[in-house]
Amino acid sequence: MKKSILFAAVGFGALFTTSAFAGESDHKDRMIAKLAQDSSPANVQSVAKQQKEKYCEKNAKNKSLRDSAKEAYVKDCMSRDEAREQLALVNGKATQVAASNINKTLQESPTAAGHR
């Protein structure tokens, strides 16, 4: 009797374990499909366009542009890719500042350069 209860319990546990693993597999498959959809070229372009438009709209607001001046600015910003230009400018300045800080540190502290 004890053996039959034990086998029943083990079989019942195996049934739930198998379905739990199947659920993980389904979840994994859905996540892979979602990632593939999100990284598709059409979706990436769409998201990039939305981010670009958001950037241009925010700049128009910061410049207090209204009506036709705002529309003209946003249109020009979208066509020129001003967001990318600004990002390159900021990244370039950040790189220059970092290089300057490194050089300054090396000049001030000979041990930082490995000299003793």
- Distance (Å) of CA 51 to CA 31, 55, 62: 24, 6, 16
CA distances to 86, 91, 110 from 100, rounded to whole Å, are: 21, 14, 16
Segments forming the whole domain that contains residue 29? 1-39
Residue 33 resides in a domain = yes
User: Which CA distances in Å does 43 have to 11, 30, 37?
Assistant: 46, 17, 7
Give the model confidence (pLDDT) of 54-69 as tens digits: 988 999 999 999 999 9
Residue 112 lies in a domain: no
Question: Residue 25 domain-assigned?
Answer: yes
Does residue 34 lie in a domain region?
yes
CA 56, CA 52: separation in Å to the nearest integer?
Answer: 6
- Number of compact structural domains in the chain: 1
pLDDT at 6: 43
Give the residue-averaged pLDDT of 24-42.
85
Which tokens is 85 given?
A: 């230009």
Predicted confidence (pLDDT) per residue in 103-113, tens digit:
777 777 655 44
Q: Is residue 50 part of a domain?
A: no
